């Protein structure tokens, strides 16, 4: 392939929300392919390329913890902003007293993964873009720890440390576990039709600590 990379990522906490439990958020057992893609995009991304996650190695055992926080439940209303933008004199803010809601989150703790991925060129690449160039930029950034913004595990309060993984042999906590079925997981969102974004799911089966995504069946 030549354009593949291996990235080791780790952090204290992680939260990959299950879509079916997202009010009181509950994390998946392991990182989703879309979250892994997000981490890579935080390091480097360009319209001329597309990240494809091949394999995820689950290095640390899966452990959960929970945190309940005061959150606000409303978003900024675009209509309100427009009115103020057009010169209306009115207060524009969210009051936490009125909009407060307490929500628990079931988090993962002490996570570490190795993400194996490659990128493909898209038709939005410029004439001067080529896989070699992208690859060089990516490797440089991974080695130096440069990033567009700090990558995170599902939510921004759970930063993800990252480095280039140079080991050939990756040890995981589940090396001895032949097969562990994690059930249906979110694969990614399908953005091909921008007015109708669709989630895609797949059956996650971890074999000896590795989730292989290269040849998995995706259901919509």
Partner 1 sequence: MSEVIKNRYEFVVLFDVENGNPNGDPDAGNMPRIDPESGLGLVTDVCLKRKIRNYVETVKEDTEGFKIYIKEDIPLNRSDREACKSLGIEETEDKKVTDALKKLKKSDPDADIKLRDYMCSNFYDIRTFGAVMTTFVKASLNCGQVRGPVQIGFARSIAPVISQEVTITRVAITTEKDAENKSTEMGRKSIVPYGLYRAEGYVSANLARKVTGFSEGDLELLWEAIINMFENDHSAARGKMAVRELIVFKHSKELGDCPAYKLFDAVEVRKKEDVEYPRKYQDYTVEIHEEKIPDSVEVKRMV
Cβ neighbourhood burial of 41 (10 Å; 0-12, 13-18, 19+): middle
Judged by beta carbon, residue 175 or residue 190, the one nearer partner 1 is 190
Q: How far is 70 from 204, CA to CA, in rounded Å? A: 33
**Is position 1 an interface residue for partner 1 (rule: CB under 8 A)?**
no
Instruction: Count how many Cα atoms sit within 13 Å of the Cα of residue 172 in the half-sphere of its side chain.
Output: 26
**Is position 210 an interface residue for partner 1 (rule: CB under 8 A)?**
no
Neighbours of 146 (CB within 10 A): 11
Report how far apart the first and last C-alpha atoms of the chain are (Å, whole number): 28
Question: Closest approach of Cβ 8 to partner 1, in Å?
Answer: 11
**Is position 159 an interface residue for partner 1 (rule: CB under 8 A)?**
yes
Question: Closest approach of Cβ 161 to partner 1, in Å?
Answer: 4
Of 23-62, binders to partner 1 (CB under 8 A) are: none
User: Which among 26-34, 52-60, 117-125, 142-150 is the span making contact with partner 1, rule CB under 8 A?
Assistant: 142-150
Judged by CB under 8 A, which of 196, 215, 217, 220 binds partner 1? 196
Of 75-94, binders to partner 1 (CB under 8 A) are: 75-94
Identify the sign of the CA torsion 42, 215, 10, 189: positive
User: Which among 30-38, 111-119, 151-159, 171-179 is the span making contact with partner 1, rule CB under 8 A?
Assistant: 151-159
User: In the chain, what is the greatest distance between 2 CA atoms, to the nearest angstrom?
Assistant: 65
**Do residues 164 and 143 touch, judged by C-beta distance below 8 A?**
yes
**Is position 106 an interface residue for partner 1 (rule: CB under 8 A)?**
no
Judged by the rule CB under 8 A, the positions of this chain that interact with partner 1 are: 12-13, 65-72, 74-99, 102, 104, 141, 144-150, 152, 156-159, 161-163, 191, 194-197
């Amino acid at each position: 392939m030549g354009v593949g990379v291996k990235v080791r990522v780790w952090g204290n906490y992680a939260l990959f929300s299950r879509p079916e439990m997202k009010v009181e958020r509950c994390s998946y057992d392991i990182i989703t392919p879309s979250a892994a893609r997000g981490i890579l995009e935080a390091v480097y991304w360009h319209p001329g390329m597309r990240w494809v996650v091949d394999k995820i190695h689950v290095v640390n055992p899966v452990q959960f913890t929970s945190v309940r926080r005061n959150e606000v439940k409303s978003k900024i209303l675009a209509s309100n902003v427009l009115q103020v933008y057009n010169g209306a004199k009115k207060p524009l803010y969210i009051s936490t007293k009125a909009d407060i809601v307490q929500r628990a989150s079931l988090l993962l703790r002490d996570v570490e993964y190795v993400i194996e991925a490659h990128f493909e060129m898209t038709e939005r690449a410029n004439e001067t873009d080529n896989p070699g160039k992208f690859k060089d930029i990516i490797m440089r950034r991974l080695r130096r720890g440069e990033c567009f913004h700090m990558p995170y595990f599902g939510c921004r309060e759970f930063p993800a440390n990252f480095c280039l993984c140079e080991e050939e042999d990756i040890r995981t906590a589940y090396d001895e576990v032949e097969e562990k079925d994690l059930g249906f997981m979110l694969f990614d969102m399908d953005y091909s039709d921008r007015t109708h974004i669709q989630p895609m799911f797949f059956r996650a089966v971890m074999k000896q600590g590795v989730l292989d995504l290269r040849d998995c069946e995706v259901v919509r």
